[in-house]
Amino acid sequence: MKSQHFLSHRPLALAASLFLLLRGSVTAQTPPAAPSPETQKRPAGTAIPAPAPPAISYSAVHVDGPYIAMTFDDGPSEKLTLQLLDILAADHIHATFFVIGQNAERAPEILQRAVREGHEIGNHSWSHPAFAKMSDAAVRREIQKTDDAIRAAIGHSPVLLRPPYGSITIRQKQWIHSEFGYRIILWDVDPLDWKRPGPTIVMNRIVRQTRPGSIILSHDIHPGTIKAMPETFDQLQARGFKFVTVSELIAMGKPMPPQEPRAESPSPVSSPAASPAMSVPPAASPAPSLTSP
């Protein structure tokens, strides 16, 4: 009886064993689940890069469209700045004026008119010294006195600073931005109008150097500069450029596209023509000489 009972259950045991064997075989052949996109993005332990901090200094802005900023330094002039404002109004152009504090204090009504007509006011120091040669305390006084004069004229402090002659150190840029909140504005187009070369030369230099995103330096205290502006504006507009204030230009800024890696030359004696062409932007104009007004 015992052997019959054993034999009667043997087929069931064999069937169960075969089922388990087949199940294990299938399980072993099932590939592991693919990692999710999140786990594929970066290796474990890799830090996520922080976004780049906003720039505090500009000589030009990378923009998608044909936008440029005209800037005028050293005013306001009670005669010439008013003439320039008339020209700007006739052409529906907005500009940025970097004013000397002493001049702003003497003619606040000119700043008020400029703001009413859509222009921007920036700080250009109280007495036009070279910041890079000065102590922090002296620079601070120059900036603060001008800030006070501008605020008294138009009701608020400016957000832009242009150091006279472009003379400023990296450390000064950092503490001025930290303390006053100013963006430091330089330029990439310089007609050297302070040398008074004549209206035609001023116009030609500006038109030749200007590109999208340019910040154009000029001065509203020289008669030749004012005479150059109508034709300058006409020429730039004919080339499709559109005028905005410096703050508007900065707001339009786009990240610079990544640079293509330069291919290695196949041999030390290969011709430069064999290397891939690279686009080289025009060099920025130097800051005015310390002999400029």
**Residues with catalytic function:** 73, 219
In one-letter notation, the amino acid at residue 288 is P
């060099």: which residue's tokens? 283
- End-to-end Cα separation, the chain, in angstroms: 124
> Cα separation of 217 and 192, whole Å?
8
